[in-house]
Amino acid sequence: MKETNEEWTIVIKPHAGLFDIDFREILQYRDLLMIFIRRDLIGLYKQTLLGPLWFFIQPILTTIVYVVVYGGIMQQTTDNKPQILFYLSGIVLWNYFSDCLIATSNTFITNAAIFGKVYFPRVILPLSKVISNLLKMFIQLLLLVVAYIVFLILHKYTFQVNLYILTLPLLVVIMANLGLGLGMIVTSLTTKYRDLQNLIVFGVQLLMFAAPIIYPLSKFEHTRFHIFFVLNPVTAVVETFRASVLGGPVDLKMLGYSFTVSLVLLIVGFLIFNKVERSFIDTV
């Protein structure tokens, strides 16, 4: 009786190679991915009074807070752009990134119970978070469209949307890469060193202050803080998006830098995640 290795559909080995990622298997589990995405979306408003309205309430409240605190009290400049549109455009994209990052960064810890009992490609879970948050972001973009129309009609705002809006898919991909990549790195490390878990919320906040969310990049053009904004891969994404809907200059070189960084983080995150997922249950 001769046996070839192809006969075996499952081979359980002590150590997976670094690049030993079974993409075909991930494809086989696409129905599970769909179920998780549905669960994530429904879970956001299950047992709440306002239901799906929460998709809108959160960015509206944040925008109001920013308009009052940063625009009103602190008199921050918004580059002569309508405050509401300025903040909202930043918030929608930023929220996507931070939601992805925070949701994926606790993958292992929150799912330890299920991971300890049953096998499926672990990467399905962070993927589902990224996709369900993507849907959430599109819904919130509608809010921006509505606000924009209101401004066009009521405030005689000139239509500023330009061809750069075509980069939106790329911008979304960069944000998804960043959120997923960083999230997977963090969750992989937290299985052994829980310290990171406490730092992540703080880290995200810090990253937001180093991104042009509540102020335009131009404000820091000639200050010593400028370098932090330039190094932050989120900067180019938010700036490009704002320029595409509210007008302004676009720096394609910086956008290229953001894309490269996001891709590197995604790959590194994927590799670390793949390595940790097999043995984390012993260390968690």
Q: Which residues bind another protein (CB under 8 A)?
A: 1, 7-16, 28-29, 31-32, 34-35, 39, 43, 46, 114-120, 192-194, 278-279, 281-283
Residue type, 81: K
- Judged by beta carbon, residue 189 or residue 263, the one nearer another protein is 189
- Judged by beta carbon, residue 54 or residue 159, the one nearer another protein is 54
The minimum distance between CB 196 and another protein, in angstroms, equals: 13
The minimum distance between CB 51 and another protein, in angstroms, equals: 16
> What's the gap between Cα 10 and its chain centre?
33
What letter would DSSP give residue 50? Answer: S
- Judged by beta carbon, residue 36 or residue 66, the one nearer another protein is 36
The minimum distance between CB 43 and another protein, in angstroms, equals: 8
- Judged by beta carbon, residue 35 or residue 252, the one nearer another protein is 35
- Judged by beta carbon, residue 43 or residue 72, the one nearer another protein is 43
The minimum distance between CB 262 and another protein, in angstroms, equals: 28
Residues in CB range of 143: below 8 A, 6 or more apart: 56, 59, 60, 88, 92
The minimum distance between CB 96 and another protein, in angstroms, equals: 25
The number of residues making up the chain comes to 284
Residue 240, both tokens: 């490009």
Alpha helices per DSSP H over 22-80:
23-28, 30-45, 54-66
Written as one string, the DSSP assignment of 101-137 is HHHHHTHHHHTHHHHTT--S-TTHHHHHHHHHHHHHH
